[in-house]
Amino acid sequence: MNYFSSHFKLGILGGGQLGKMLLYNTRKFDIYTCVLEASNEAPCKTACDEFHLGDLMNYDAVYNFGKQVDVLTIEIENVNIDALEALEKEGVKVYPSAKTLRIIQNKATQKLFYVDHNIPTSPFTRFAFTSEIKEALNHGGLSLPFVWKCAQFGYDGTGVKIVRTVDDLKDLPNVECIAEKLVPFKNELAVIVARNASGETKTYPVVEMEFHPEANQVEYVICPARIDVAVAKKAEAVALKVSEAINHVGLLAVEMFQTENDDILINEVAPRPHNSGHQTIEASYTSQFEQHIRAVLNLPLGRTDNKVGGVMVNLVGAEGFSGNVVYENIEKIMNMDGVTPHIYGKKQTRPFRKMGHVTIVNEDLNEARRIAEEVKKSIRVISE
């Protein structure tokens, strides 16, 4: 099929920053794009060929949008899967498939999938409601501490909480959830796997992620991870095993823990471009966003190794500021070597909202990490 400068239409469900960065690449290739998103203020609005307003969880909105495109992909997994199944039956190509998304969309289903396929993950208990947890604690079926995760619709630090005392359960929503054993670990790692419909597969180098203690958001992504080659190989092998088991097409970001004994346990996966791959825009031969387009269109996959070491810093709204956004000291960071800011186009900031990211590239990874710290201290996302 001719995708380039043709009548072909690529549909993207979701209009956030991931979609916007996908669109940089569809523009490069002159691929016609249609985006469905509930907000008129979406970052994607200025970059796609057609912008459609609609709720991604609404069956009719997703179905009617999907009927107008040739291939449908996502930039967020919280979408109406029944509509995707209907579209697939009618011949629309949907990547990742409805079947893959059904496994991933619910964290309890996702964890059970790992257990069923002998993929290493931390022990967990599934609950229909958060309110059932107290009873499990009283009867010894569960012990503190553990990680509480809502089964659906959690993202960027929402829907996850470390529960150390019974009091920590107080403000949690009463929803379907899982309680995961709190695993002592050395590192949080991630591997992005790309796979096209022909089954060609490539992995990006393992990255390590440093998290903000309160917001449970990634602060730094460091690529390549500063770990032993044997551990990196193990992480890649686990990521490939998940990719094969789940039979995804597109990108699959696999987040993992490296335990004290250097075992690799899967935390969770995302079937789309991911925060742990933003540095690929500057640091890799093929960015994760270009790779996702190649994969869902069944084109040959691009080279995934690094041209240079990269560190990514998330730009999130500063605490105590809400309203029209101002990026304080952005000129200062642009004066630093190897520093590239990406501003997502969200006009309103609020505490911990993801507003952009900054990539730092350097031949010396430790120097890149040092500059990243300086970037983090210098730039502030505040309001007018």
Task: Using the predicted structure, report yes or no on whether residue 52 has a pLDDT greater than 90.
Answer: yes
For residues 29 and 25, give the distance between their C-alpha atoms in angstroms, rounded to a whole number.
6
| Residue 268 annotated in ligand binding | yes
Q: Please state at what angle helix 81-89 crosses helix 98-105, rounded to 10 degrees.
A: 170
pLDDT digits (tens, 9 = 90+) for 114-165: 999 999 999 999 999 999 999 999 988 899 999 999 999 876 667 899 999 9
| Residue 180 annotated in ligand binding | yes
For residues 63 and 276, give the distance between their C-alpha atoms in angstroms, rounded to a whole number.
30
Q: Which of 207-216, 278-287, 354-363 has the lowest mean pLDDT?
A: 207-216
Task: Tell me which DSSP letter residue 330 carries.
Answer: H
Q: Is the domain 123-181 a CATH 3.30.1490.20 member? A: yes
% residues pLDDT > 70 (the chain): 99
pLDDT digits (tens, 9 = 90+) for 188-234: 999 999 999 999 999 999 999 998 777 677 889 999 999 999 999 99
| Residue 182 annotated in ligand binding | yes
Mean pLDDT, range 18-26, rounded to an integer: 97
Q: Could you tell me the pTM of the whole model?
A: 0.95
Q: Please say whether the beta carbons of 182 and 162 come within 8 A.
A: yes
Task: Identify the pLDDT of residue 1.
Answer: 84
| Residue 58 annotated in ligand binding | no
Per the prediction, the chain carries an average pLDDT of: 95
| Residue 267 annotated in ligand binding | yes
Mean pLDDT, range 286-301, rounded to an integer: 98
Q: Is the domain 9-94 a CATH 3.40.190.10 member? A: no
| Residue 20 annotated in ligand binding | no
Task: Tell me which DSSP letter residue 374 carries.
Answer: H
| Residue 183 annotated in ligand binding | yes
Task: Identify the pLDDT of residue 157.
Answer: 63
Task: Identify the pLDDT of residue 5.
Answer: 97
Task: Identify the pLDDT of residue 153.
Answer: 80
Partners of 309 in beta bridges: 362
Q: How far is CA 326 from CA 318, 347, 384, in A?
A: 11, 9, 6
pLDDT digits (tens, 9 = 90+) for 30-49: 999 999 999 999 999 999 99
Domain assignments of the chain as residue spans, ordered by start: 9-94, 123-181, 185-383
pLDDT band at 339 (very low <50, low <70, confident <90, very high): very high
- The two tokens of residue 110 are 């996702």
Per the document, the length of the chain is 384
185-383 CATH pick, 2.60.40.1120, 3.30.470.20, 3.40.50.740, 3.30.1330.10:
3.30.470.20
